[in-house]
């Protein structure tokens, strides 16, 4: 009889690396109870739960919405030790949908929902445009939400990134003011190395929604990847103007300022980051940077416009 292999156990470091969790996302998963202090490590079902929660947050859901969705998943699979592996969760507009088999429910209300297959939607839209109708058979707002939901399902799978980009293109074709779709499409273009197009998408998100903090942050990340540190600093500061408690922006801004030799200015943001996040693996990085500069005179951050 073959010997049963023990289940793989992941450390916190492995889990955060595999899921590419940012400090902000780590904190959110802790608030949701998905990323607990596990001295013995995390099992595969814990990794699945964190992956689902992170994907929903990435798609624009709030922590409260994700908490409601998790509760809905547990209601659909009450006997399961890993309900998130048996149901599918997705963001559609301002709500999270729980799906199992052929059934779909609103996570908050439990109301059953009708599904619109992507192929059927495409045929309806193309037929409407071909005949020059003033109004498509499916209302534009519904079409945008459906395509956004499809794209959100696909954009976590590198093999489906092209399909996700196409879906986001359809969203903004129907609703050019859909900032989240512009931002998410920019992230995909960024990941695929299409930097110019990524920047265009991020800026489009900011044009339609000047408060889109994620787009400003992503423009900073793009500039940093391109080695344009002054521009990266500008965009990270812009994100912090919108949200002074944006931990990821403090972390990245501190890193860029350090690369530019502005260690005192960087220290200001390392310290602020630690005030916002003291428990994640990234907090250790922030502390190490502060310890390296402990012997230097703390002159504070340089004033805006000094460089």
**Most confident range, picked from 43-52, 252-261, 271-280:** 252-261
**How confident is the model at residue 237, as a pLDDT?**
96
> Does the residue 263 lie in any domain?
no
The tens digit of pLDDT for each residue in 260-286 reads: 999 889 999 989 988 887 777 778 888
Residue 284 falls within a domain, yes or no? no
Decide if 99 is inside a domain: yes
Q: How much is the average pLDDT of 44-52?
A: 77
Number of structural domains, the chain?
A: 1
Establish if 107 belongs to a structural domain: yes
Angle 218-220-225 from CA coordinates, rounded to 5°: 95
Tens of pLDDT, residue by residue over 175-188, are 888 898 999 999 99
Output the pLDDT for position 47. Answer: 77
Burial 15-52 (b: 16+ CB within 10 A, else e): bbeebebbbbbbbbbeebebbeeeeeebbeebbbbbbb
Residue 199 in domain: no
With a cut of 90, say whether residue 138 has pLDDT above it: no
Q: Write the DSSP string, 105-125.
A: EETTT--EE----HHHHHHHH
Nearest one of 165, 129, 122 to 146, comparing CA atoms:
122
Per-residue confidence at 136, pLDDT binned at 50, 70, 90?
A: very low
| Integer Cα distance of 197 and 25 in angstroms | 26
Q: Is residue 25 domain-resident? A: yes
Indicate whether 156 belongs to any domain: no
Per-residue pLDDT, 203: 95
Query: Structural domain of residue 104, as residue ranges?
Result: 1-115
Residue 293 lies in a domain: no
pLDDT digits (tens, 9 = 90+) for 19-35: 778 888 888 888 888 87
């Amino acid at each position: 009889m073959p010997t049963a292999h023990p289940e793989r156990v992941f450390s916190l470091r492995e889990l955060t690396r595999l899921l590419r969790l940012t400090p902000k996302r780590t904190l959110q998963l802790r608030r949701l109870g998905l990323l607990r202090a596990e001295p013995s490590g995390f099992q595969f079902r814990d990794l699945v739960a964190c992956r689902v929660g992170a994907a929903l947050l990435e798609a624009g859901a709030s922590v409260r919405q994700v908490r409601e969705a998790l509760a809905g998943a547990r209601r659909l699979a009450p006997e399961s030790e890993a309900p998130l592996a048996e149901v599918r969760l997705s963001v559609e507009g301002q709500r999270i949908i729980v799906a199992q088999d052929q059934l779909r429910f609103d996570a908050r209300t439990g109301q059953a929902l009708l599904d619109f297959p992507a192929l059927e939607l495409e045929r309806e839209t193309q037929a409407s445009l071909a005949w020059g109708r003033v109004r498509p058979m499916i209302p534009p707002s519904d079409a945008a939400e459906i395509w956004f939901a499809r794209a959100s399902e696909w954009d976590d799978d590198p093999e489906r990134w092209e399909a996700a980009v196409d879906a986001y293109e359809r969203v903004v074709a129907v609703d050019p003011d859909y900032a989240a779709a512009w931002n998410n499409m920019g992230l995909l273009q960024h990941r695929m190395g299409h930097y110019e197009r990524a920047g265009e998408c991020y800026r489009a998100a900011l044009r339609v929604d000047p408060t889109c903090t994620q787009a400003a942050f992503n423009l900073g990340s793009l500039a940093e990847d391109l080695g344009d540190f002054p521009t990266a600093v500008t965009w990270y500061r812009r994100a912090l103007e919108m949200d002074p408690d944006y931990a990821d922006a403090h972390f990245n801004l501190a890193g860029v300022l350090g690369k530019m030799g502005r260690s005192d200015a960087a220290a200001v943001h390392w310290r602020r980051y630690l005030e916002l996040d003291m428990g994640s693996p990234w907090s250790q990085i922030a502390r190490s940077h502060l310890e390296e500069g402990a012997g230097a005179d703390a002159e504070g951050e340089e004033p805006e416009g000094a460089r």
